[in-house]
Structure 1
């Protein structure tokens, strides 16, 4: 299928970033100042130029295979949303290749299966991936807001429509079952972060931090794009320094 592209910036220990449904610039732009002290290695998942398109659909298992060779240097890994799924699969397959994990609002709804807010997030998320722009209009807008898109009551912005179409047909997040026990037993330091904008995301992140024995951090102010929230960059850098430079 061809290799994915990783764009590196800065100098120092490597921090590998794995975006979700939005591209690297939108997801990680607020971390730019870290390039003075760290090498920011921005993964471009398949379908996000300059990486090649996916063969058939977005798939977190393909993401995991793409990430595997990038762990050879034992980087810190910071992942967001759908990107967390492939990241956890890759980390479980080669736990010795990960110096630390920072995981931001992943759609691991099975962790809190009995919570109605979480169940709804999972249901409408899978519906949008399955039906794209043909999903129920109200549920589509609800999901887009939870996913950090800027949408009002009028026509959806062209960039948002393009994102929905790119995600259409992706492997459903409900199928992801990463081996959290392997990651925890390997002793990988973990930070789980959220943005205090949706109860479902908070409960998933609480459960994930508990399952991995990780630290928990909440940063309001930027919705789903937690990396842009006030205080997140400082908290991330402190966590990275605590766990090896």
Structure 2
């Protein structure tokens, strides 16, 4: 039986890095995608290879269909096919809706919505029978914290797109699910927050801590592997945050 292969967008840091490492530990060959930080992606690849796994780095703007087509091509050339696509790549900017810079909103929409569509298109065309497509949302679609309006709007779109895709792939044995993390200790989450804000968010979780990237990677590994009867769902991986 050939080795299973995963392509992880945003795999050079934060949650994506933890996901790439976890899937490799589960025996998958992993294409580690990066948007701009090739050095970080190469370090993940080196770590996976040092542990006896197979990996390569692929780069590019997730919202550019030709660039992402090339990334999928490179993965298929190297590993012979693709079984799992995990789309963690995204950006977040916070501002009250009344003060939101619309150019900034367009940038968020381009990366988070168009980027998801571009990656989902390639995944729908290429993932092998029995595979999995996993997108990323946020628990703030539920908590609706102030200043998250643009980000939440983009991630609500991801949830909707993913459910439609799950239904469109009927008959191919491919699952499509969305992971919605809660407050997780990544640069994306921590950027711009003071210590008190971070502490308050940690206390808001019944488990009284921030999530770690590895906590999120556990959910991804489940959806990418044994979870063959979980489909069209958004999994809130947030320690019980209401």
Q: Same fold (TM over 0.5)?
A: no
Query: TM-score, normalised on structure 1?
Result: 0.42
Query: TM-score, normalised on structure 2?
Result: 0.42
